[in-house]
Amino acid sequence: MRSELLPPNGGSSVIEIGDVVTEGGVTIPSARLRLHAFYDDANDCPTTASTRPIILIEHALTGDGNAIDWWSDNVGPGKPIDTERYLVLCANVLGGCQGSTGPASLHADGKPWGSRFPGLSIRDMVQAENQLMEKLGVEKIDSMIGASMGGARVLEWTLMFPERVTSALAIAVSARASAWQIGIQSSQIRFIEADPDWQGGDYYGTGREPNEGMGQARRIAHLTYRGELEVDERFGTEPQRGENPYGPYRRSDQRFAVESYLDRHADKLKERFDAGSYVVLTDALNRHDVGRGRGGMNAALGSSQVPTMVVGVDTDILYPYHQQEHLSRNLGDFIGLSKITSPTGHDGFLIESRQMGQVLKKFLQKAELLSEVVD
C-alpha cells in the first residue's frame, strides 16, 4: 500500500484517479475522489496504519466520507468499527459535491460540468472507487460496509471486483431499484428540474440556485427515510407553535408541526448539498440493478462468491425488509441476516446505535475469521 497517499488520521485529501469511463461511454477525464482516513493510536503514522486490516465504508446518498461524523456512535476509538484497530477508509462518491468530481466541478474548459456531467450508475461509482484503491496500492479490502446507496455499492463491489473484497455487509438496500423507489425518486428529480432556477442544470455561477425544487425533493425523501408511526407519534395533527393551520383560509406560513419539521430538514440540506449532485446520485439509485447484463437479479446474486451479511430495518418504507430477505435467500455466499427493530424507518441504521453496533460487532467477528482463512 502506498502509505504516503493516506490522508492524516481524521483528515482527508483529494486524490486523482485518472479517467473514468462510464457505462454509457462518457469519459470523465482526470477524475478525483476525496478520501477520508481514520487510524487512531498509530502515532498518526500512515506507514504503521497501512499494515492494519482495512475497512471501507460506503456512505449513503447525501452522506460524505467523514464517517466518524455521521456514524459517530459506531466509528471511532474503542467503538464497533474501532479506529485504533482498523484502517478505516471512506471516500466521497463520484458525482457528489464534497470534493469528488461532480456536476459542480470544473470541466477541462474551466467551466463547471453542469448539464454536461454524464449520468452515472452505481457501477460507475464502484469503478471510480476501485481506481482509487489501485492508486493507493490496496490489494485487499478486509471488510466493506455500506447502507442505502452505500449498500448498493457494496453489492456491486462483490460482483465487479470480488478478488479485492474478503467480506461485505450490505445494510438497508435491495438487489435492484423497485418501481416504487424509481417513482418516488424520479418525482424528487422532477421537482428540482421544474424549478426555474435549475436552468437546465447550468445554474453554476449565475447567482441563482434551484433551492425551492431542492427543498421539495428533500421533503419527499425525508418522509421515506422515517417511519410512519414515529412521525405520527411525534407530531400528529399538532399545529406548529404560534401558527394556526385551522384558519378560514390556507396560508403557507400557518403550518402543522410536521410541516415545520420537514421545512427544517429541507433548509439544512440546501445549505450543504448541491442540487446537481442530488439529481445525478438519485438517478444512479434509479439505475441500480445487480442483474442487468448478468442474466437477471437472482442469477447475479447467486454468482457472488464474497461472504456477505445483510441487515434491514423492520419499518423501512424506502427499502422494505422483504428486500433484504430476498438478498438472504439468493446470495451465493450468505453469512447472516439481521433485523433492526425500530419505529424510525430507513434511518434506523443511523439512529438505533446500540442495535447497529451489535450487528457490526457480529459481522466483524465473522470477517476476522474469514480473513484468517484467506491468509
Helix extents (H) in 137-256: 149-160, 179-194, 211-225, 228-235
Look at residues 164, 125, 114 and name the one whose alpha carbon lies nearest to residue 33.
125
Question: Catalytic annotation on 346?
Answer: yes
Q: Which residue has the cell 425518486?
A: 185
Residue 291 near residue 176, CB atoms below 8 Å: yes
The set of cell numbers assigned to 275 is 442540487
What are φ and ψ of residue 363, in 5° steps?
A: -65, -45
- Please report which residue ranges of the chain form alpha helices under DSSP H: 46-49, 67-70, 122-136, 149-160, 179-194, 211-225, 228-235, 257-272, 275-287, 297-302, 321-330, 348-351, 353-374
3-state secondary structure of 156: helix
328 is catalytic: no
27 burial level (CB within 10 Å; 0-12, 13-18, 19+): exposed
In sequence order, the β-bridge partners of residue 256 are 239
Catalytic entry in 148, 277, 338, 342? 148
In the residue annotation, 124 being an active-site residue is answered as no
Cell numbers 440540506: residue = 269
- In terms of Cα–Cα distance, which of 278, 279, 310 is closest to 152? 310
The CA distances from residue 50 to 44, 138, 171, 366, in Å, are 11, 9, 26, 22
Q: Is 171 helix (H, G, I), strand (E, B) or coil?
A: strand
Pairing of strands 27-38, 12-21: antiparallel
Q: Which three cell numbers stand for residue 73?
A: 456512535
What is the four-CA torsion angle of 313, 314, 320, 321, rounded to 10 degrees?
90
Across the beta sheet with 87-91, what order do the strands follow?
A: 12-21, 27-38, 87-91, 54-58, 143-147, 168-171, 308-313, 334-340
The active-site residue out of 316, 326, 342, 347 is: 316
Catalytic residue among 36, 59, 222, 346: 346
Residues designated catalytic: 148, 316, 346
